[in-house]
Structure 1
Amino acid sequence: MSVNITFLGGAQTVTGSKYLVEHAGVRVLVDCGLFQGYKPLRERNWRPLPVVPSRIDSVVLTHAHLDHSGYLPLLAKEGFRGRVHATPGTRDLCAILLPDSGHLQEEDAAFANRHGFSKHHPALPLYTRQDALDSLRLFHTVPFFHPFEPHRGWRVSFIPAGHIIGAASVLLEVGGRRILFSGDLGRSDDLLMKPPADPPAADTLLIESTYGDRRHPEGTVLDELAPALERVARRGGIAVVPVFAVGRAQTLLHAIATLKAQGRIPHGLPVYLDSPMAIHSTQVFIDHPGSHKLSPDEVRAMAKVAHFIETPEQSKALAAQHGPMVILAASGMATGGRVLHHLAHYAGDHRNMIILTGYQTPGTRGARLAAGETSIRIHGQDVWVAAEVVQLRTASSHADSEQLMTWLRRLPQPPGQVYVVHGEVGASDALRLRIEHQLYWRARVPEHGSVWPA
């Protein structure tokens, strides 16, 4: 019997990854991500999946970022009762990310209802914090390199992918086929994370392509961040830094701690981490010491370099303080959360700075800021942007096009078919062309909703 893959997300877009693998009446969903970015993409989150959630037998997660895990609470809410298989690190991060995602959606809906700027009456969250907590009961953890059988005749292995704590590539063996899902691959030169492990042999490969058409610039995040922070400190301004709570926040904290220790930025420059989720995610680096490059002393320095802001009241109190100072707050693309309040408060002052720390999905506020727009809409209001906008080019935790090709060349033998996924159309097609012209492998960029054989 054939093995088929339905591309329910992460196809010709860098968000919403969901890949449904079917064989002999069994359905396994690899990744279960939220769509983010453009409104037409976000609206997909509200549409029913083409497969009834109760008929999905299990889920396998590559890692915890919401574009790979954030749909899980809704899947469970709508009837999924199977196991969610993940590495211990992914489970620990999902325990932080998913409830926070539900909480933010509840807060955003309540804010919209109070201020009347939603087109829906009343505005409702996609799912709640309690829905997320309920979905965590479905998790079953498996370490790297420990093959397991989620169903009879199905075999799954997790291989380290770098990127963030717990991130894995997934080898799925079923129906005589070996299907490898790259997940999000980390960099070989990442500041925090170890490089991805070499990939195993596979008949079919799904390769991410976030940076499929780009190379990271030379240099390090330390060299890029130091002059920006020194500049904003010199003019007494406030740097607002939208960060992804998992991975990017810790990279910035480690970089700031290192720069202060080296004397490259003022030692007394106040730093605030205004994200309970990022605070708790930093603890995961302590709990998983073998999963990253940092020494115990470096982890402690990273945790101590910032004042932790836990409550909304503490967050609001920052507005009464004067610069210079640095505020790190989620979310990394300015799509929601506390960073929106800081942007609304500080974006209009030319002494201030907005530091974008990585890839900005098209359609997000972060992408509009990176494009130089002088007005962005926050909570139904147009906010003038006079602050200096700096986009760090070296802080990404994704492999670039050269690093992706290097990983592909480490496959023991050519796969029969490559599907290029999790990238914007241009990035995916650029990587497809390189795979075909340089490696001479068959490669395709699948469309959303398409079904292809494994």
Structure 2
Amino acid sequence: MKNDKIRIHFLGAAGTVTGSKYLIDTGEKKILVDCGLFQGLKELRLKNWEYPPVNVENIDIVLLTHGHMDHTGYLPRLINQGFKGPILGTNPTLEIAKIILYDSAKIQEQDAERANKEGYSKHSPAEPLYTIADVDKTIPHFKTIPQAQWIPLFLGIKVRFQYNGHILGATFIELDINGKRFVFSGDIGRVNDFLLYTPLKPKKADVLFIESTYGGRFHQEEEDALPEIEKLVNETISRGGSLFVPSFSVERAQLMMFIFWKLVKENKIPKVQMIMDSPMGADVLELFQRTKDWHKLDYDECKEMCSHFTIVSSYQETMELRQDKKPKIVIAGSGMLTGGRMLNYLETQAQYAENTLLFVGYQAEGTRGRKLLEGAKELKVYGKYVPFDMQVAEVEGLSAHADHAELIGWMNKLKKQPQRIFIIHGEKEGAEAVQIGIKEKYGWESEIPQLYSIEEV
């Protein structure tokens, strides 16, 4: 007798926020939804070096919800481990993944080189997780898929990618396997976003995978965050300091540019030098101009906004700007201070109390960003500790993630209760809050799977 049970392997973002990877094993086909890198806690980051507890060579296809590192950053490792199939995503998702993977590989190569030169790594020699050459081998597997259309994958299996806000190209994925529908939320965007449209909602799900990044937490509206940012800029500049904004290079950097441009245009903040220091962010800006269908900003607005910023791409320019004490606004990666150009600025500027460090996105457990938010007074940068005396501020209304109410509301178009609901992509408190929220609003039971668990549905 044929076993028609489908097995789900939770290979990442289960019991934690990062490393999204879900393997759907139909018995005949193996489909990986997302292929993210673990970030944050060292015990999680170390898992990036391990071979996953499945046979990678047997995976037939990869489907990507969106281009962020914690959903795509493991792809070069997967290729090195023997994956040979196609990697499907929307056009902006694959463009962003390409930008992120090359940037990540370059940073890893540079960090390994610097660690070996300065001798601060425990590993001898220090090696990158993957190289630019590894990314070169990954990109040919990319295959662009249109949104909102059912695409046949295999006999009895089809897929549809649906607009989800969050970042350019982001989607939730509907996977029909012999008539049973699996819905993967990916990262759900905001209902009212300055740059992106409202996420669509699924109408049917037999098995639902729902993210819980901001479970139990409620954002203010983006519009309500503007006075807060205006006040922070004016206070910082008036005391002779600079405002530093660690920012995810995809969407968040462009959103912060939009906000500062808007405040300057309305004469609400002084005209100081505004810097967007992220080669990746610059590439994404160019992508914004090519993907009008995915966002609200028109070409002329995009051009005018960019004209107000110094767009930095060369590392040499970063090294010069970080020594400059004139008040300015700096947007640079990475959003959780796990790497990127912002660390170069903090290496020289963190000790000055007149400066402000403004967080505008989620700070995962174990990251430098989370530690500074929790009051750390020193910062480890490139193997050494620097004193940290900056003012620290956080504005939560600018998150690209749905808050608790938006997460629960995202399910309200489902015509009937899913057979199984798995709460993923959240720390313990967030996942449990979503579980309670689903029960209170819909009366539905749900489960919180743990890393490397396997479920049959």
Q: TM-score band, normalised by the shorter chain?
A: over 0.9
Deviation at residue 152 of structure 1 after TM alignment: 2.1
- Aligned residues of 2:7 and 2:24 also touching (Cα < 8 A): yes
**Residues 378-425 of structure 1: CA distance to partner in whole angstroms, max 9, x if unpaired?**
112111111111111111000000011111112222211110000001
Deviation at residue 175 of structure 1 after TM alignment: 3.2
Distance 1:320 1:368 in 2: 25
Distance 1:442 1:6 in 2: 20
Distance 1:302 1:157 in 2: 34
Indicate which of 158, 162, 167 corresponds to 2:170.
167
Distance 1:330 1:309 in 2: 12
Deviation at residue 122 of structure 1 after TM alignment: 0.4
What residue is the counterpart of 1:224 in the other structure?
228
List aligned pairs for 1:13-24, cutoff 5 A. Answer: 13-24=16-27
For residue 285 of structure 1, give the secondary structure of its aligned residue in structure 2: helix
What residue is the counterpart of 1:180 in the other structure?
183
Indicate which of 194, 200, 203 corresponds to 1:200.
203
- Aligned residues of 1:272 and 1:326 also touching (Cα < 8 A): yes
What residue is the counterpart of 1:245 in the other structure?
249
1:254 equivalent in alignment to 2:258: yes
**Residues 167-186 of structure 1: CA distance to partner in whole angstroms, max 9, x if unpaired?**
00000011331000011000
Distance 2:325 2:351 in 1: 15
For residue 383 of structure 1, give the secondary structure of its aligned residue in structure 2: strand
Indicate which of 26, 30, 40 corresponds to 2:29.
26
* TM-score normalised over the length of structure 1: 0.98
What residue is the counterpart of 2:326 in the other structure?
323
- Aligned residues of 2:318 and 2:344 also touching (Cα < 8 A): no
Distance 2:15 2:228 in 1: 31
List aligned pairs for 1:257-272, cutoff 5 A. Answer: 257-266=261-270, 268-272=271-275
What residue is the counterpart of 1:53 in the other structure?
56
1:424 equivalent in alignment to 2:436: no
Deviation at residue 434 of structure 1 after TM alignment: 1.5
1:96 equivalent in alignment to 2:99: yes
* TM-score normalised over the length of structure 2: 0.97
Distance 2:153 2:124 in 1: 42
List aligned pairs for 1:342-353, cutoff 5 A. Answer: 342-353=345-356
Distance 2:325 2:437 in 1: 50
Deviation at residue 208 of structure 1 after TM alignment: 0.3
What residue is the counterpart of 1:437 in the other structure?
440
Distance 1:144 1:188 in 2: 19
- Aligned residues of 1:23 and 1:175 also touching (Cα < 8 A): no
For residue 32 of structure 2, give the secondary structure of its aligned residue in structure 1: strand
For residue 408 of structure 1, give the secondary structure of its aligned residue in structure 2: coil
List aligned pairs for 1:15-164, cutoff 5 A. Answer: 15-164=18-167
What residue is the counterpart of 2:357 in the other structure?
354
What residue is the counterpart of 2:240 in the other structure?
236
- Aligned residues of 2:157 and 2:175 also touching (Cα < 8 A): yes
In the alignment, structure 2 segments of 5+ residues that lack a partner are none
Deviation at residue 70 of structure 1 after TM alignment: 0.5
- Counterpart of 1:364, as a letter, is T
1:311 equivalent in alignment to 2:314: yes
**Residues 81-121 of structure 1: CA distance to partner in whole angstroms, max 9, x if unpaired?**
10001001101111211111111111111111111111100
**Residues 323-364 of structure 1: CA distance to partner in whole angstroms, max 9, x if unpaired?**
211111110000012111111110100111111111100100
- Aligned residues of 1:17 and 1:31 also touching (Cα < 8 A): yes
In the alignment, structure 1 segments of 5+ residues that lack a partner are none
Deviation at residue 305 of structure 1 after TM alignment: 2.3
Task: Name which of structure 1's ranges 173-182 and 290-299 shifts more when overlaid on structure 2.
Answer: 290-299
Distance 1:205 1:67 in 2: 20
- Aligned residues of 2:322 and 2:344 also touching (Cα < 8 A): no
- Aligned residues of 1:35 and 1:41 also touching (Cα < 8 A): yes
State how many pairs are aligned: 453
Distance 2:297 2:192 in 1: 13
Distance 1:373 1:321 in 2: 25
- Counterpart of 2:73, as a letter, is G
What residue is the counterpart of 1:388 in the other structure?
391
Indicate which of 368, 371, 384 corresponds to 1:368.
371
Distance 1:10 1:30 in 2: 12
- Counterpart of 2:358, as a letter, is I
Deviation at residue 50 of structure 1 after TM alignment: 1.2
- Counterpart of 1:422, as a letter, is H
Distance 1:434 1:319 in 2: 45
Note the aligned Cα RMSD (angstroms).
1.2
**Residues 238-262 of structure 1: CA distance to partner in whole angstroms, max 9, x if unpaired?**
2221110001100100001100001
Distance 1:452 1:433 in 2: 21
Identity %, equivalent residues: 38
What residue is the counterpart of 1:450 in the other structure?
453
Distance 2:323 2:205 in 1: 57
What residue is the counterpart of 2:382 in the other structure?
379
